[in-house]
């Protein structure tokens, strides 16, 4: 098969993901990329099809990024942020005019949105591992997301642990959660809808 085939891209992505997990285990929430079942559950929770601006925090090798792009409207924009230069380079190679790949930190989301002239997001999807980051840092990121989301906007976080729920309850209220077993490891998909 040619280098650009979906199967080869998938295998290369999984290998790269595992390598980066070994190098930076506290920055990456899993040893392998998300399954298509997890991607579907995340997209359904985020109501991507109606969003004009979507933010992805922690793009990894780009599997979820591609799934978001497939579900998005033709004129919507996706800002995909990753702190890992290797993952950022992989996502930057995705050929879609609706995608803005940014190497940076979720803390800086307000200035990143301004830099690209993007409106406040209707959906924020996060795969960054809240369970391994400093609790205060996680709380600050949740506050940034809460401040930026439009009224009725959705925040979706797919996580191994429940720390994100404890951080977000004071901001968004009680979470909705589903468990996706068809993923390695099984993931909790949390989502909130900001009050109108």
The pTM of this model reads 0.85
94-142, pLDDT tens digit by residue? 999 999 999 999 999 999 999 999 999 999 999 999 999 999 999 999 9
Token pair 């290369």: residue = 12
In sequence order, the 6+-apart residues with CB closer than 8 A to the CB of 181 are none
> What is the per-residue pLDDT for 144?
98
Decide if pLDDT at 85 tops 90: yes
Token pair 């800002």: residue = 79
SS3 119: coil
> What is the per-residue pLDDT for 152?
97
| Sign of the alpha-carbon torsion through 177, 90, 53, 110 | positive
What is the percent of the chain where pLDDT is above 70?
84
What is the percent of the chain where pLDDT is above 90?
77
E-strand ranges in 1-153 read 53-57, 77-82, 99-103, 123-126
Angle between helices 63-71 and 36-46 (to 10 degrees): 50
**Mean of all residue pLDDT scores within the chain:** 88
130-159, pLDDT tens digit by residue? 999 999 999 999 999 999 999 999 999 999
- To the question of domain 34-193 being in CATH 3.40.50.150, the answer is yes
> What is the per-residue pLDDT for 8?
56
Decide if pLDDT at 19 tops 70: no
At residue 34 the predicted structure's pLDDT band, cuts being 50, 70 and 90, is confident
Question: What is the C-alpha to C-alpha distance for residues 31 and 36, in angstroms, rounded to an integer?
Answer: 16
Token pair 């793009």: residue = 59
> What is the per-residue pLDDT for 32?
57
Mean pLDDT of 50-67: 95
Decide if pLDDT at 33 tops 80: no
Q: Give the single-character DSSP code of 141.
A: H
Q: Is-contact 83 39, C-beta < 8 A?
A: no
> What is the per-residue pLDDT for 184?
86
């Amino acid at each position: 098969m040619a280098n650009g085939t979906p199967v080869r891209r998938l295998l290369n992505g999984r290998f790269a993901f595992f390598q980066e997990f070994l190098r930076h285990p506290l920055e990456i929430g899993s040893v392998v990329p998300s399954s298509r079942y997890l991607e579907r559950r995340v997209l359904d929770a985020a109501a991507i099809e109606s969003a004009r601006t979507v933010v992805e925090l922690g793009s990894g090798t780009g599997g979820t990024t591609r799934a978001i792009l497939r579900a998005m409207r033709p004129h919507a924009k996706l800002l995909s942020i990753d702190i890992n230069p290797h993952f950022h380079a992989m996502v930057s190679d995705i050929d879609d005019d609706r995608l803005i790949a940014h190497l940076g930190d979720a803390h800086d989301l307000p200035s990143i949105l301004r830099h690209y002239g993007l409106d406040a997001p209707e959906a924020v999807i996060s795969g960054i591992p809240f369970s391994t980051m400093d609790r205060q840092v996680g709380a600050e990121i949740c506050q940034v997301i809460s401040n930026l989301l439009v009224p009725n906007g959705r925040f979706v976080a797919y996580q191994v642990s429940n720390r994100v729920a404890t951080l977000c309850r004071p901001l968004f209220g009680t979470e909705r959660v589903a468990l996706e077993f068809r993923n390695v490891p099984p993931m909790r998909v949390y989502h909130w809808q900001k009050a109108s």
